[in-house]
Amino acid sequence: MNLTIFRSSHYLLQRLIHQNHGSTIKILGFNRYFTTLSSNNRSMIFRIKFNSNHSSKTILWLSTEKSGQTKRAYFTWKSFIISGVLVSVFAGFMIQMKNEKLKQMERQRKKALGEVAVGGQFDLIDQDGKPYSSSNLEGRWAMIYFGFTHCPDVCPDELEKIVKAVELIEQDKRSDPIQPVFITVDPERDSVQAVREYIREFSPKFIGLTGNKEQINKATRAYRVYYSAGPRDHENDYIVDHTIITYLINPDGELVDYYGQTKTAEEVAKGVLKAMKTYRDLNRKLGFL
């Protein structure tokens, strides 16, 4: 099937009839006038079908007129389809390359975090005395810090840094919701009430978690958190030595990054926003967003 598109003209129509003498001619109709890149160029699309004893063909003629001169462009469905296929293949190749690049970046990130898996499930009690597990955090970002309410200086400094980082993150319109979480490593003294009163000193956005020793051990093992109670004084008071790290968890419950004591709130916020963007880009390319 050959296709040609042409402008309305008695002369052109007569020429077509003359060239196809002895054929049955059927005008299938036209689409519309349209303006090309130049406002002076106007064309009309016609479809004309010629039926003869030996063959049947449909012709589309494209004729553009400018300054009294007529120009014709000849197209075929075959060339159109081939061009479309080539464009589709190229576009698919580029998309695949971008996806592979994002996957490679994700593999490099995980390798940088270490071969040992960090993070996992836990089942604890929140500041309201209700069960709270790692599944409660699914679908949103979280910053998790392990500490204890009797900590004299390090824990308060780190929690204040988290609060400031969250504020900076929320100021960015491109950010996603993020939940700050405090998990005690001192279940002996940190009751539900003690945790509730403690986190209120920093921000109402905090979720405070406690539990029995077995529950706390399960959570600390999952996150590779070291903690050890020191010697007790005459008032039975003691200090707990523990890992000082804030863990960044993505909506899939996976560890994305971690921030040590030397990181500032600004650096933490910048790292979190970067992780959020990478996560969105990766999931968008994979069709999950």
Q: Is 151 marked within a binding site?
A: yes
Q: Is 155 marked within a binding site?
A: yes
Query: Position 288: which residue type?
Result: F
CA distances from 12 to 3, 27, 46, 238 (A): 16, 13, 11, 101
Q: In what order do the strands lie in the sheet with 178-184?
A: 131-133, 123-126, 207-210, 178-184, 141-147, 245-249, 255-260
Q: Is 150 marked within a binding site?
A: no
CA distances from 28 to 20, 45, 51, 59 (A): 16, 11, 12, 10
Are 142 and 179 spatial neighbours (Cβ–Cβ below 8 Å)?
yes
Bridge partners, 142 (sequence order): 179, 249
Structure tokens at 233: 């004084």
Question: Known binding site for Cu cation: residues?
Answer: 151, 155, 242
Question: Known binding site: residues?
Answer: 151, 155, 242
